[in-house]
Amino acid sequence: MRLFRLAALVLALGGTAMTASSDEGMWLLNDPPRQLLKDRHGFNLSDAWLDKAMKANVRLNSGGSGGFVSPDGLLVTNHHVAADSIQKLSTPGRDLYRDGFLAQTRDAELKCPDLELNVLQNITDVTAGVNAAVTTDMTPAQAAAARRAAMAKVEKASLDATGLRSDVVTLYNGGLYHLYRYKKFTDVRLVFAPEKSIAGFGGDVDNFEYPRMNLDVSFFRAYENGQPAKTPDFFRWNPDGPKEGDLVFVTGHPGTTNRLETLAKLKHRRDHTLPYTLTRLRAVEAALHQYGEQGPEEHRQAATAHHSAANARKAFSGQLQGLLDPEVMKQKQQAERDLHAGLVVGSHQHRMIPGLQDAKIHAAPTDYLDAIDRVAALQATLAGFEREHLLIETGHGFTSDLFTVARHLVRLAEELPKPSAERLREYRDSNLDSLKLQVFSPAPVYPPLERVKLQTALTFLAEQLGGAHPSVRLALGGKNPAGRADELVRGSKLADVAERKRLADGGKAAIDASTDPLIRLAKALDPEARRLRTRFETEVEEPERQAYAELARLRFLALGKSVAPDATFTLRLAFGVVKGYDVDGEKLPFHTTLGGAFDRHTKLGGSEPFDLPRRWLDGKAKLDLATPFNFVSTADTIGGNSGSPVLNRAGELVGINFDRNRHGLVRNFVYTEVQARHVAVHSRAVLEALRKLYPAEALVKELIGG
Amino acid sequence: MRLFRLAALVLALGGTAMTASSDEGMWLLNDPPRQLLKDRHGFNLSDAWLDKAMKANVRLNSGGSGGFVSPDGLLVTNHHVAADSIQKLSTPGRDLYRDGFLAQTRDAELKCPDLELNVLQNITDVTAGVNAAVTTDMTPAQAAAARRAAMAKVEKASLDATGLRSDVVTLYNGGLYHLYRYKKFTDVRLVFAPEKSIAGFGGDVDNFEYPRMNLDVSFFRAYENGQPAKTPDFFRWNPDGPKEGDLVFVTGHPGTTNRLETLAKLKHRRDHTLPYTLTRLRAVEAALHQYGEQGPEEHRQAATAHHSAANARKAFSGQLQGLLDPEVMKQKQQAERDLHAGLVVGSHQHRMIPGLQDAKIHAAPTDYLDAIDRVAALQATLAGFEREHLLIETGHGFTSDLFTVARHLVRLAEELPKPSAERLREYRDSNLDSLKLQVFSPAPVYPPLERVKLQTALTFLAEQLGGAHPSVRLALGGKNPAGRADELVRGSKLADVAERKRLADGGKAAIDASTDPLIRLAKALDPEARRLRTRFETEVEEPERQAYAELARLRFLALGKSVAPDATFTLRLAFGVVKGYDVDGEKLPFHTTLGGAFDRHTKLGGSEPFDLPRRWLDGKAKLDLATPFNFVSTADTIGGNSGSPVLNRAGELVGINFDRNRHGLVRNFVYTEVQARHVAVHSRAVLEALRKLYPAEALVKELIGG
């Protein structure tokens, strides 16, 4: 019994890391699992290895990861991460997303309209300063404002001092605050993209599945002052790739996990947030699918947005299945109970758990229960206005490129006159350049597609809140969603970047004088949107941060930082072993082959999504069909890790992560390595395809030398 | 002011019929608009014309209409109405739905597994008897039971006396009860179906749009005693079709309209029922689409279900846009206000409105307001359990062929021992044969498709009610939806019709002893499902019937039966004029041409849904491309009218209705003929295609003679 409790305590405290029994963890680069790597895999993580992993790693503002692979700014990422830029570089006559692209010379590389790269330079713990700004006598509203101001102040000071993009990152849901400083690149050019049909071979059917045969890679180059950027920190391209049983590392930017959330929070996600999210995604996906069915040009325009919606729908569906799995919830519930029980008896037993010796655990059980209860109570509060908040403030009721621009213009006029620390967080000085890159992006806008997006969003708004809701009536302005969307898009001039700049330069006077219907809509909605945001920040976010900070404190007392924080789209280090797995008695090998793609194409009749590019069909004979194509490992990844370099012990690139399998969809909540795997493109497959099919000799030479 | 009120009164009393200003109305065949037809169109509706319209008309249990077109049982309907049977006749190697079918001889005609035809023989008003069973001192529960029993008794007596299928139909939402007697055919064979790609050319993109170019027709033949049925009442096939300006009639079985519903009911639909319905349909459509993407065989299996979901989604989306249109709601609101005002002043003015003379309208205003308020209050009641009712009793949480069978088997065992009048309505004696045709259908069942349907439904159930809801926990049985669906389908033997019969024959003992997981699930859910049904019937349905009966009484007092009742999937007569219309200044002609299909195919690149069958591409030169293909008229139709014969003054068939345009989607609530049109296949196009492309000489000969 005692042993059971102790084991449970360790589990409940946040994972299995202490027992070194799994490869779980998306680790902070300033607090890496050195001992664990040594114990489990006999690997000595050096400072030099870590430093390169940090400085050769790239975060893309389109929502993924990548890595430098030459000293001249060349970087590799996934095709599906590059897709946003590839789509924006395409035109009615030139569908680079469908057909691919290769710059034979540097002059031919295509400048992306609004892609920003962030390369982490260093990390500083600023927890004490951020927490010191909040005192116990503050109301939640005061605390939220004080914390926001403290964060903005740290960022502003850092930006002024270093010129680097400076973000204060919240870790352990409020347990720690770290300052991340990034070198930023905004001149980024497309070097190579394969055809969509091989990059995403198998489409929605094979997404989150394995075996896979995807060439989900693209190459960009970072430029500075009009010249290829010098990137002395880069990953050497390993031409052989990994073997079964190899230790590999995934360094990248996992977006969101929820493993340290309380049971009440997970139930809220299961019963409220996820059903809402799926309802929304299905509506968006259906609308984009139907738009694309109208003809080839409409299909082209909607292609990447449609893929994004489908991808998100599949990921969130997997999450919901996970939270509806009684086993998963039981595990979480047991963990919460056992942590409490463990804390009660902990003072007598802590000697048996390494690291517990100095924990003042005897003080913890009531604090713990109180924090758990507070998080639960906050979910009931959130349920009362979550949909309104998401629809009106987050903007799900208006999702479209043009409304996003309109809202930013309206808010820029309102926020910029304020001191940076008092603004809505996204308008703080340290974020302004990145924001403007988006707002003034010359990326093409397709009015018919905007109309469909807006009609879909307005209809969803009305479905969720009802036709009599004041915000719905305001949004619809006396029309139905179809008529209103038409009126808004037809009447707006915001597709013209010069008009956006005119309004931004003109400040509040220009916004007040504007008769643009989208500006007027964004303006009319703003009081209610801000009210909902304030409500969210003060009634949910800040009290949650405080409760989670308490839970984090107890966890640190017991285990130090030996449990990694949940993912936050910041750089993390994961590791794992390259190995296959069994499904229903069938042994799935650790890698697939190029030949497998042809087999699947043939078997399924070759129609979408199992069509192969003409270049592949014609060039089949040139290929070594036994070349490993995709491979899997146990390393701990999540969405946002797309495009992450997969490294070997030597820090060389052996693969590019692009997905996880369906067994890994539950990783948001629990890590398992029984069947869950991430999936990566094998470094050898990339070389084979580039050499034999495209042919991209200059690129290959840059990767592995002459 | 007085005139305004009077005009408004007429409008409010349910439409524009009295003023003979429009072609609105889905008229009862025992109360046809003779005077209106004479006044508006100079047409004398004869008893003989009406009698043939009744007895040559066919209702299909798959949810559509059709008409006999030869004395030998040959009938025409839409391809999309026939689709359910065509799909069930297809097999992995033989995809009749995609590729079409033609029986060159009668021997080659294919017997449908579970298609039932109903041909109306006569109508009797049984209102007095049904209402007499309900007395004012009864509770709603007693009233509901008494009414149900009275209806079942009438039906049973009629069945025993005539041998005809006998249904008591509720009209005017409870204002009238009519007994409909049908001749029934259950041996129905497929004669001809075109390829899906020409039957539904343009797919989801063109659905509910115009111009259209669809050969949306199929032919069946009714059999009796193994021989082609003798059908002396049939529509002669007019080889020329209609001309612009022609008066035409649509005789068929419109499913549901909501024009006589109160404003409160429509708001309930807008804010509750329709958002729920669309959420569900999008989930189903997405799941079926994804299933079909797995490969050609999966695509084949899911094709018709996928099309049905997409079609419903588009129709309900149009309804929602209509109810979110403030103009539509204003019209309804004004109508309700004006009817009240009109009733208040009516006694002084009724002489000005023909038909009002004898109305005891001075007694009406308070009765009217009371009934309106009662309907409003019932919507609040309904909102409290509507989703549970639809999910658990209607079965949206379990939608799949096998669960439907399981529930019927469980309930048959429970219900059959009771007297017919006391059973759940669908198990009454007069309906048993039709029900068993479905339950014991030998139509193929595809376990992987069943699994996906069930997973989708169970997931939707959990999304709607939350993971902690007792019925969700019961339904999931300790698994997540994916795992549970797998367990249920894998463990069930209900795909085997012999097993279904064994369980049905064994009665309650067999059901109680069954370990089939689907039987056990249906059984475990039944108490709660029945509780919800009782709650719906007693707390909503019966009180609504009573309130609407009162509203109908007032309407009859004022206007007699000059306003048609809402549609109820019973035979109706509509009429209209063949004419085109303007959209955004563009004049759309009253008909399209065969050549138009080829033009659209070419313009849109010929890929799905704009692909044409090989036969059409190869045979293009043989066709007279100027042949009218589809045409439109102002006649009043709705879903269920699919496959309705379109007749000329002589009662000859000039077209087959298959759709309405997007402007007609709001017809559930208001009729307009400014742009709203129904769309029909032109009788000449059918002959041209049958002669030149298929070639179906025997069929052509049967239609128009040698």
- Cβ of B204 within 8 Å of Cβ of A290? The answer is yes
Residue in A204, A323, A478 nearest the CB of B467: A323
B325 touches chain A (CB under 8 A): yes
Two tokens at B69? Answer: 């077109």
**Summary mean pLDDT of chain B:** 92
Rounded mean pLDDT, B314-318: 95
Residue of chain A with shortest Cα separation from B287? A282
Helix axes B697-704, B683-692, angle to 10 degrees: 150
Residue B673 makes CB contacts below 8 A (sequence gap 6+) with B22, B23, B24, B576, B634
B478 touches chain A (CB under 8 A): yes
Chain A residues in contact with B285 by the CB 8 A cut-off are 286
Kindly report, residue by residue over B436-448, the tens digit of the pLDDT. 999 999 999 999 9
Q: Which of A:69-98 have CB within 8 Å of B?
A: none
User: Are the C-beta atoms of residues B628 and B680 closer than 8 Å to each other?
Assistant: no
pLDDT band at B558 (very low <50, low <70, confident <90, very high): low
- Cβ of B480 within 8 Å of Cβ of A325? The answer is yes
Please determine, for residue B358, whether its predicted confidence score (pLDDT) is greater than 50: no
A703 vs A691: CA distance, rounded Å: 12
Residue of chain A with shortest Cα separation from B313? A286
User: Are the C-beta atoms of residues B194 and B571 closer than 8 Å to each other?
Assistant: no
Residue B104 makes CB contacts below 8 A (sequence gap 6+) with B698
B394-423 b/e (C-beta count within 10 Å ≥ 16 → b):
bbbbbbbbbbbbbbbbbbbbbbeeeebbeb
Tell me if residue A218 falls in helix, strand or coil.
strand
B598 vs B622: CA distance, rounded Å: 13
Q: How far is CA A308 from the centre of its chain?
A: 12
Kindly report, residue by residue over B18-65, the tens digit of the pLDDT. 344 689 999 999 999 999 999 999 999 999 999 999 999 999 999 999
Instruction: Tally the residues of chain B.
Output: 706
- Chains A and B: how many Cβ contacts under 8 Å? 119
- Cβ of B271 within 8 Å of Cβ of A204? The answer is no
B376 touches chain A (CB under 8 A): no
Q: Which residue is it, tokens 């285990």? A: A559
Rounded mean pLDDT, A282-297: 96
Q: Identify the DSSP state of A272.
A: I
Strands (E), B280-427: none
Cis peptide before B326 (omega within 30 of 0): no
What is the bridge-based pairing of β-strands A117-125 and A57-60?
antiparallel
User: Are the C-beta atoms of residues B535 and B485 closer than 8 Å to each other?
Assistant: no
- Cβ of B320 within 8 Å of Cβ of A478? The answer is no
Rounded mean pLDDT, A476-487: 97
pLDDT band at B706 (very low <50, low <70, confident <90, very high): low
Q: Which of B:327-366 have CB within 8 Å of A?
A: 329
CA distances (Å), A214 to each of A207, A378, A679, A685, in order? 10, 43, 10, 10
Residue of chain B with shortest Cα separation from A455? B321
Residue in B323, B463, B609 nearest the CB of A467: B323
User: Residue A366's pLDDT is what?
Assistant: 78
Strands (E), B479-638: 572-577, 581-583, 586-588, 591-593, 628-633
Residue in A272, A323, A466 nearest the CB of B271: A466
B600 vs B210: CA distance, rounded Å: 13
User: Residue A344's pLDDT is what?
Assistant: 60
Residue of chain B with shortest Cα separation from A475? B324
Output the CA torsion sign for B644, B649, B653, B655.
negative
B513 vs B279: CA distance, rounded Å: 37
Helix axes A401-415, A497-513, angle to 10 degrees: 50
The pTM of the full predicted model, rounded to 2 decimals, is 0.94
Kindly calculate the radius of gyration of chain B based on its CA atoms and give it in whole angstroms. 25
Chain A residues in contact with B329 by the CB 8 A cut-off are 467
User: Are the C-beta atoms of residues B492 and B451 closer than 8 Å to each other?
Assistant: no
- Give the CA dihedral A484, A485, A487, A489, nearest 10 degrees: 160
B468 touches chain A (CB under 8 A): yes
For residue B622, with 0-12 CB atoms within 10 Å meaning exposed, 13-18 middle and 19 or more buried, which class applies?
A: exposed
Output the CA torsion sign for A80, A86, A88, A94.
negative
Q: How far is CA A516 from the centre of its chain?
A: 33
Give the minimum alpha-carbon distance from A23 to chain B in angstroms, rounded to a whole number. Answer: 26
Where along chain A do its domains lie? 46-116+186-256+569-704
CATH placement of domain A46-116+186-256+569-704: 2.40.10.120
User: Residue B1's pLDDT is what?
Assistant: 29
- Cβ of B481 within 8 Å of Cβ of A321? The answer is yes
User: Are the C-beta atoms of residues A518 and A408 closer than 8 Å to each other?
Assistant: no
Helix (H) or strand (E) holding B206, with range, is: helix B203-206
Output the CA torsion sign for A365, A366, A367, A368.
positive
B309 vs B201: CA distance, rounded Å: 17
B269 vs B258: CA distance, rounded Å: 10
Residue A274 makes CB contacts below 8 A (sequence gap 6+) with A316, A319, A320, A323, B463
Kindly report, residue by residue over A543-569, the tens digit of the pLDDT. 999 999 888 888 777 666 778 999 999
User: Residue A651's pLDDT is what?
Assistant: 98
pLDDT band at B342 (very low <50, low <70, confident <90, very high): low
Looking at the DSSP bridge assignments, the partners of residue A169 are: A178
Q: How far is CA A580 from the centre of its chain?
A: 26
CA distances (Å), A561 to each of A123, A180, A545, A554, B214, in order? 16, 18, 18, 11, 67
Chain A residues in contact with B599 by the CB 8 A cut-off are none
Q: In A324-363, where does DSSP find H-type helix?
A: 326-349
B699 vs B192: CA distance, rounded Å: 9
CA distances (Å), A212 to each of A100, A597, B351, in order? 20, 8, 79
User: Are the C-beta atoms of residues B497 and B441 closer than 8 Å to each other?
Assistant: yes
Please determine, for residue B317, whether its predicted confidence score (pLDDT) is greater than 90: yes
Q: In A192-351, where does DSSP find H-type helix?
A: 196-199, 203-206, 263-268, 274-292, 296-323, 326-349
Strands (E), A502-652: 572-577, 581-583, 586-588, 591-593, 628-633, 645-647
Rounded mean pLDDT, A527-541: 97
- Cβ of A462 within 8 Å of Cβ of B317? The answer is no
pLDDT band at A364 (very low <50, low <70, confident <90, very high): low
Residue closest to B688 by CA, chosen among B629, B644, B646: B629
A360 vs A382: CA distance, rounded Å: 33
Q: Which of A:602-621 have CB within 8 Å of B?
A: 604-605, 607, 609-610
Looking at the DSSP bridge assignments, the partners of residue A380 are: none
A271 touches chain B (CB under 8 A): yes
A250 vs A575: CA distance, rounded Å: 6
Residue closest to B659 by CA, chosen among B684, B685, B686, B632: B632
Helix (H) or strand (E) holding B288, with range, is: helix B274-292
- Cβ of B294 within 8 Å of Cβ of A205? The answer is yes
Helix (H) or strand (E) holding A525, with range, is: helix A517-536
Residue A527 makes CB contacts below 8 A (sequence gap 6+) with none
- Cβ of A483 within 8 Å of Cβ of B325? The answer is yes
- Cβ of A605 within 8 Å of Cβ of B295? The answer is yes
- Cβ of B296 within 8 Å of Cβ of A203? The answer is no
Please determine, for residue B472, whether its predicted confidence score (pLDDT) is greater than 50: yes
**Summary mean pLDDT of chain A:** 92
- Cβ of A609 within 8 Å of Cβ of B293? The answer is yes
pLDDT band at B556 (very low <50, low <70, confident <90, very high): confident
**Topology adopted by domain B5-116+186-260+566-704:** Thrombin, subunit H (2.40.10)
Two tokens at B189? Answer: 């064979």
Output the CA torsion sign for B76, B79, B85, B86.
positive
B390 vs B394: CA distance, rounded Å: 5
User: Residue B368's pLDDT is what?
Assistant: 85
A338 vs B365: CA distance, rounded Å: 67
- Cβ of A604 within 8 Å of Cβ of B479? The answer is no
The dihedrals phi and psi of B678, each to the nearest 5 degrees, come to: -90, 155
- Cβ of A481 within 8 Å of Cβ of B293? The answer is no
Residue closest to A526 by CA, chosen among A673, A395, A690, A700: A395
A287 vs A451: CA distance, rounded Å: 11
A428 vs A420: CA distance, rounded Å: 5
The dihedrals phi and psi of A389, each to the nearest 5 degrees, come to: -60, -45
To the nearest 5 percent, what fractions of chain A are helix, strand and coil?
55, 15, 30
User: Residue B366's pLDDT is what?
Assistant: 78
Tell me if residue A659 falls in helix, strand or coil.
strand
pLDDT band at B646 (very low <50, low <70, confident <90, very high): very high
Q: Could you give the ipTM of this predicted complex?
A: 0.93
Residue in A296, A324, A468 nearest the CB of B467: A324
Q: Which of B:586-605 have CB within 8 Å of A?
A: 604-605
The dihedrals phi and psi of B236, each to the nearest 5 degrees, come to: -70, 135
Kindly report, residue by residue over B573-614, the tens digit of the pLDDT. 999 999 999 998 999 999 999 999 999 999 998 989 999 999
Two tokens at A303? Answer: 């292609």
B656 vs B659: CA distance, rounded Å: 10
A303: number of Cβ within 10 Å: 20
C-alpha angle B583-B586-B592 in degrees, rounded to nearest 5? 90
User: Residue A16's pLDDT is what?
Assistant: 38
Kindly report, residue by residue over A13-71, the tens digit of the pLDDT. 444 333 446 899 999 999 999 999 999 999 999 999 999 999 999 999 999 999 999 99
Instruction: List the single best residue of A95, A98, A280, A480 to mutate versus B (max B Cβ within 10 A).
Output: A480
Give the minimum alpha-carbon distance from A594 to chain B in angstroms, rounded to a whole number. Answer: 20
- Cβ of B476 within 8 Å of Cβ of A324? The answer is yes
Give the minimum alpha-carbon distance from A270 to chain B in angstroms, rounded to a whole number. Answer: 7
